[in-house]
Chain A
Amino acid sequence: MYKLFLCLRYLRTRYIVLASIISVMLGVATMIVVNSVMSGFANEMQTRIHGIMGDLTVTSTSSDGFYDPEGQMQRIRDALGDKVIGITPICTTVGVLTYKTRILDIDGCEREAQLTEQVCIVGVDERSKASVGDFGKFLQHPENRKALSFDLRDGGYDTFEGQENTQSRGVLDKIFPVKDRKKGKLKERTDMKRAGWQHRRDYYGEPMNGVEIVTNPELHVETKNTSAEDLPTMKQAEEENAPVLELMDDSSSEKTLSDHPMDNPPETPVNPFLAAEKKEAEEAGETADQKDFDLKESLDTMNQPENTEQAENEAPADPDPFGGTGDDPFGGHEGGVFNPLEETHPGIIIGIGMAMFRSSDGTDKFYLLPGRDVMLTFPDCSIRPTGVTGHFTCVDLYESKMSEYDSQFVFVSMQTLQELRGMPNKANQIQIQLKPGSDLDEACEELKKVFDPQLFLCKTWRDDKMPLLQAVDMEIAILNVLLFMIIAVSGFGILAIFYMVVTDKTRDIGILKALGASSWGIMSIFLMYGLALGIVGAGLGMILGLAFVLNINEVADFLSWCLGHEVFSPDIYYFYQVPYDISLTTVGWIVGGALFIAVLASVFPAWHASRLQPVESLRYE
Chain B
Amino acid sequence: MSIMQVHDLKKSFTKGPNTIPVLKGINMEVHEGEFLSIIGQSGSGKSTLLHVMGLLTHPDEGEILYGGERIDNQSERRRDYLRNHDISMIFQFYHLLPELDIVENVLTPLMISEGYWKFRFNAKEHRERAKELLDRVGLAHRLKHRPNELSGGEMQRTAIARALINSPKILLADEPTGNLDRSTEGGIIDLLRGLNEKEKLTIVLVTHNPSIAAGADRTVSLVDGVIE
Interface residues of A (CB under 8 A from B): 1-2, 4-6, 9-10, 13, 507-508, 510-519, 521, 613-615, 618-621
Contacts and interface: CB of A to CB of B under 8 A. Distances in A.
Contacts of A514: 54, 56, 83, 89, 95
B169 interface: no
Contact of A13 (B81, B99, B111): B99
Contacts of A507: 95
Interface residues of B, number: 35
B108 interface: yes
B80 to A, nearest CB: 5
Interface stretch (B66-74, B113-121, B136-144, B200-208): B113-121
B57 A517 contact: no
Given A514-B56, A514-B89, A1 B99 contact: no
A615 B100 contact: no
A613 B79 CA distance: 14
B76 A1 contact: no
A615 B112 CA distance: 19
Contacts, number: 75
A134 to B, nearest CB: 57
B85 interface: yes
A614 B56 contact: yes
Given A510-B95, A513-B80, A618-B93, 17 more contacts: A1-B115, A1-B118, A2-B108, A5-B104, A6-B97, A9-B100, A508-B99, A511-B96, A515-B83, A515-B84, A516-B112, A518-B76, A518-B77, A618-B51, A618-B91, A620-B93, A621-B93
B56 A615 contact: yes
A324 B104 CA distance: 100
A1 B85 CA distance: 16
B109 interface: yes
B218 to A, nearest CB: 25
B47 interface: yes
Contacts of A518: 76-77, 80
A524 to B, nearest CB: 12
Interface of B: 47, 51, 54, 56-57, 76-77, 80-85, 89, 91, 93, 95-100, 104, 108-109, 111-116, 118-120, 162
B44 to A, nearest CB: 14
A6 B116 CA distance: 12
A618 B112 contact: no
Nearest to A616: B57
B95 A517 contact: no
Given A5-B111, A9-B100, A620-B93, A516 B83 contact: yes
Contacts of B99: 6, 9-10, 13, 508
Contacts of A508: 97-99
B95 A618 contact: yes
**4 shortest interchain CB distances as A-B pairs:** A516-B84, A2-B111, A1-B119, A516-B83
A6 B119 CA distance: 14
A620 B104 CA distance: 23
A30 B118 CA distance: 42
Given A508-B97, A514-B89, A619 B77 contact: no
A521 B112 contact: yes
25 contacts: A1-B111, A1-B114, A1-B115, A1-B118, A1-B120, A2-B108, A2-B111, A2-B112, A4-B116, A5-B111, A6-B97, A9-B99, A10-B99, A508-B98, A508-B99, A512-B112, A513-B83, A515-B83, A515-B84, A516-B82, A516-B83, A516-B85, A516-B109, A518-B80, A618-B91
B84 A513 contact: no
A2 B119 CA distance: 10
Contacts of B116: 1, 4
A330 to B, nearest CB: 95
Contacts of B97: 6, 508, 511-512
B56 A516 contact: no
Nearest to A519: B76
B112 A515 contact: yes
Contacts of B108: 2, 512, 515
A517 B111 CA distance: 10
Contacts of B114: 1
A620 to B, nearest CB: 7
Contacts of B162: 515
A516 B93 contact: no
A621 B113 CA distance: 26
Given A9-B99, A615-B57, A515 B91 contact: no
A619 B76 CA distance: 21
Contacts of A618: 51, 56, 91, 93, 95
Nearest to A620: B93
